[in-house]
Amino acid sequence: MGILGNIFHKIFPSSHPAVAQADAPGAASPAAPEAGNTGPATTSAAAPTQNMPEVDVEQILNGMAQSSGQTLNWRTSIVDLLKLLGLDSSLQSRKELAGELGYSGDTNDSASMNIWLHRQVMNKLAANGGKVPADLKD
């Protein structure tokens, strides 16, 4: 299971279809984009969202932020989002996530990569049954 699967595990209940899809042996990342895609993620690999129970991502993350005792801006920062979820937020980890999601830009330009990663993670959550605020996704 990759980093995106770990994110799904932290946000979606264990019974959610997106978690089961992330756990499937040999499965690609849920709603994986085509290789090399730096634009909006495609959803062709995901089950249709109308068959998935909707999970209020904003409510879950806000609740986690309140109980964390830290000031983390998960709404705009991929680093803070990963920290909030208790996942590795190192540059190496973010480069690995970029590879999972098909980022073809310069991974040494961490500012651009981080902005793209945050948007793509929000898109993936939305494509897999997450209710994500419109301003956080494409």
The pLDDT value given to residue 88: 97
For residues 102 and 30, give the distance between their C-alpha atoms in angstroms, rounded to a whole number. Answer: 13
For residues 24 and 6, give the distance between their C-alpha atoms in angstroms, rounded to a whole number. Answer: 13
Residue 39 confidence (pLDDT) above 80: no
Tokens of 105: 């830009």
Residue 43 confidence (pLDDT) above 50: no
For residues 68 and 70, give the distance between their C-alpha atoms in angstroms, rounded to a whole number. Answer: 5
The pLDDT value given to residue 51: 65
Higher pLDDT, 19 or 122: 122
Mean pLDDT of 2-10: 94
- Give per-residue burial for 99-128: e unless 16+ CB within 10 Å, then b: ebbbbeeebeebeebbebbbbbbbbbbbbb
The pLDDT value given to residue 35: 41
